[in-house]
Structure 1
Amino acid sequence: MPVPTRDAARGSNTSIAVQFVLCGIVWGSSFLFMKVALTGISPAQVAWSRLILGGLTLALFVALRRDPLPRRPKVWLHMAVLAVSFCVIPFLLFSWAQQHVTSGLASIYNATTPIMTAVMAWLVFRVEKLKPAQIAGIIVGILGVMVIIAPWQGLDLSQSLVAQFAILGATACYGFSLAYMRKFVSNTGMSALVFSFLNIGIAAAIMAVLTPVLVLEPVTLDPWIVGSVVLLGCLGTGVAYIWNQNTLRAWGPTRASTVTYITPIVGVVLGIVILQEHITWNEPVGALIVFAGILLAQNRLRIPTRRSTPRTTVSE
C-alpha cells in the first residue's frame, strides 16, 4: 500500500480547508437567499424548494459515483429521524422567522448551534460529560443570546420576538441532530456523500408527500427569486452538505463546527450591503459573547486558575 507523501497530505488538508471556507460562505449567503425568495414565495415553499433541489443534486452525485446505500433498516430509521430534526423542522422555522427578522440577525442566531449541541449532548443524550468551564460556556452563550434579544427594550411578544425564539428552536433542532448523529450514526460506514444524500433526500421525500398541504399556493417569480431558490437548494442544501461532512470527518466535530464563526459574518455583511439592513449595537456584541461561550463550551478557552506555589522546607 503506497504511503501518502507529505505534499499529498498537505494538498488534502488544503482541499478540506477550501471546502470549510466555501461551506461557511455558502451557508452565510443562505440567509440572503431565503430573504430574497420570501418576496415571491411562502416560507413552506422556500423549505420545500431547497430540500427538493438539494435532494436531486445529491442524488445526481450518488448516481455518478455509484456509492452504495446502506441496507440495514435501522440506519434508514435513524436517518429518517435526522431528516425531520435536522432539515424539515428547522428549515420551516428559519423560513417562517425570516419574514419578521433581518437576514443578518438570523445568521447571528444560527451561531448558537454549538451551544445547543453541547446542551443536547450533555443533558439529553448523555454522550458527553461537561467540565465546569464548559457549563460556564453554556451560561455565557445564553447571556449572549439575551444581549441579542435586548429585553431592556421591552418584551411585547411581537412577531419579531416570536421569530427570534423560532430561530432558537431551529438551532436547538440542529443541536439535537448533531448529538443524535454522534450517538446513533457515527459508525455506520456511510460515505460523506451518501450520508448527505439520505439526510436531505429523505427530508425531500417527506416534503413531497406534504406538497398538497404546504406548497400549493400562488407564487410570484422573477430572476432574482428563481436564482436565490436554485442557489439555496442546489448549493446551500446540496453541495455544501458534502463539504461539511468531508470537513467533519477530516477535522472532527470541534474544528468543523467553527464554520459558525464564518456564517454570521457573511450573513451580516450581505444583509447590510445588498438588502440595506440595519444592525444595532447589541447584535454584534451579543454575537461576540456567544462566540466566547462556544469557545468555553468546546473546551478551547480555559479559565485561568491560581496555581499554588509549593512550599519549600529548610533543613536545619
Structure 2
Amino acid sequence: MAARDWFWVILLGAIWGCSFLFNAVLIRELGPLWVSAARVGIGALGCWAVFIALRKPLPRSPLLYLQLLFLGILGYAIPFALFPLSQMHLASGVAAIVNALTPITTVIVSHFWPGGERATWLKSAGVVAGFGGAAILALPALQSDGTSQLWAIGACLLATLCYAVSLNYTRRFAKIEPTTIATIALTGAALTGIPVAFLVHGVPLVTRIETWGAALGIGLLATTFAFMVMYRILPRIGATNFTSVTFIAPVSAIIFGVTLLGETLLPSHFLGMAAIFVGLLLIDGRIVRRWQRAGA
C-alpha cells in the first residue's frame, strides 16, 4: 500500500478502537439494539449532510437500493449490535482483540467467494494462529465456567463474520460513488434497526451527558467520517489489506479502556492478542517474504 493509504488505515484503526470505548459508555443506559440504532441513525444523518453538500445524485436503480439495504443490515446494523451486546460481559479491549480476527474470517470468506482471493498456505497458517488466539482468549472463561463470557466471545466472532461477508459483498459496488454507498446503506440500517430497537427495548431514557457525547462520537466520527474514508480507499487497496485496521483498533481500545474506564486485562488476553497478530502478519505475508528473500 502507498504511504497515504497507510495513514488512513492507521487513523481508521485508532478511531474504530475508540468505538469500543463509546460502546462501553452507551450500554450503561442503552440496550445493545439502541446502541446500534443510534450509531447507524446518527451516522446516516451525517452522511446525508455530506451527500447534500456535495450535491450527489440519488441512484435510480431499485435493485441497487435493495443491495445497499442488505449491506446496511449485514455490515452495520447486526455487528454494531453484537459488539455492545458482548461488551456487557467483556472488557472493551477484549472485544477489540476478538475484532482483530476480521482479516482472518475475511480470508476464509474470500477463499469461497466467487471471484475472491484464494487462500495460500501462508494465509491458512494465519487463520490457524488467529483462531488459536481466540481459543486463548476463551481460556479464562472456560476455567471459571464463565458461560456468559464464552457467549460474548461468540457474538464478537459472529460480528467479524458479518464484516467479512460485507467486505466481499462490497466488491459489486466498485463503480458506485463512495458517498452514495455509505449514505444509502446506513439509511437502510437505520430504517430497520430503529423499529427493532423500539420493539425489543422500548423508548430509550438517556440521563447522562456522556451518553450523548458517546452517541455523537460513535455516530459522526466512527461512522460518518470513517465510512466516507473507508469506501474511498477500499477499492484501491482491497478487502484483505483494508482489514489491517484491526492491528490498530485493539491497541487504542486497550489504552482507553484501561486509562478511562478502569478495565483490567489478564495476561492471557495479551497472549491471545499476540497469537492473533502473528496470524495477521502471516496473512499479510510481507515480513515472511522479506525473510525468504534475505535467506536466498
Q: Which residue of 1 aligns with 2:186?
A: 200
1:139 corresponds to: 128
Q: Tell me which moved more, 127-136 or 243-252.
A: 243-252
Q: What SS does structure 2 have at the residue aligned with 1:302? A: helix
Q: How many residues align structurally?
A: 294
Distance in 1, matches of 2:252 and 2:270, equals 13
Deviation of 1:242 (Å): 0.9
Determine if the alignment matches structure 1 residue 83 to structure 2 residue 69: no
The match for 1:185 is: 173
8 Å CA contact 1:48, 1:215 repeated in 2: no
SS at match of 1:210: helix
- For 1:34 and 1:84, the matched residues in 2 are separated by 19
Query: Which of 1, 4, 17 lines up with 1:28 in the alignment?
Result: 17
- The offset of 1:75, in angstroms, is 2.2
| Paired residues for 1:50-69 under 5 Å | 50-69=39-58
Larger radius of gyration: 1
Q: Does 1:165 align with 2:154?
A: yes
Q: How far 1:18 sits from its partner (Å)?
A: 4.5
Q: 1:261-305 deviations in whole A, cap 9, x for unaligned?
A: 111100000000001111111112211211221222244343777
Asked whether the 8 Å contact 2:107–2:240 carries over to 1, the reply is no
Q: Mapping of 1:292-303 within 5 angstroms?
A: 292-302=278-288
* Structure 1 SS opposite 2:250: helix
Partner Cα separation in structure 2 for residue 191 and residue 45 of structure 1: 29
Equivalent residue, structure 1, for 2:227: 241
**Matching residue within 110, 115, 136 for 2:104:** 115
Question: 1:122 and 1:255, CA in 2 relative to 1: closer, same or farther beyond 3 A?
Answer: closer
RMSD: 2.6
CA shift at 1:50, angstroms? 0.8
Structure in which a larger fraction of residues adopt helix: 2
Q: Residues 152 and 71 from structure 1, CA distance in 2 versus in 1: closer, same or farther, beyond 3 angstroms?
A: closer
In 1: Cα distance, 2:128 partner to 2:245 partner: 21
Percent sequence identity over matched residues? Answer: 28
Q: Could you state the TM-score of these two structures normalised by the residue count of structure 1?
A: 0.85
User: Bigger CA drift: 129-138 or 111-120?
Assistant: 129-138
The C-alpha deviation readout for 1:227-247, integer Å capped at 9, x for no partner, is 111111121121111122223
Task: Specify every segment of 5 or more residues in structure 2 that has no aligned partner in the other structure, as ranges.
Answer: none
Pairing partner for 1:290 from 276, 280, 291: 276
Cα gap change, 1:196/1:225 in structure 2, threshold over 3 Å: closer, same or farther? same
Residue 156 of structure 1 aligns to a residue in which SS? coil
What's the TM-score, normalizing by structure 2? 0.90
Contact 2:126-2:281 within 8 A present in 1 as well: yes
Which 5+ residue runs of structure 1 have no aligned equivalent?
A: 1-9, 310-316
Decide whether aligned partners of structure 1 residues 281 and 125 sit closer, same or farther in structure 2, where only a CA change above 3 A counts.
farther
- What SS does structure 1 have at the residue aligned with 2:60? coil
- 280-289 or 103-112: bigger deviation: 280-289
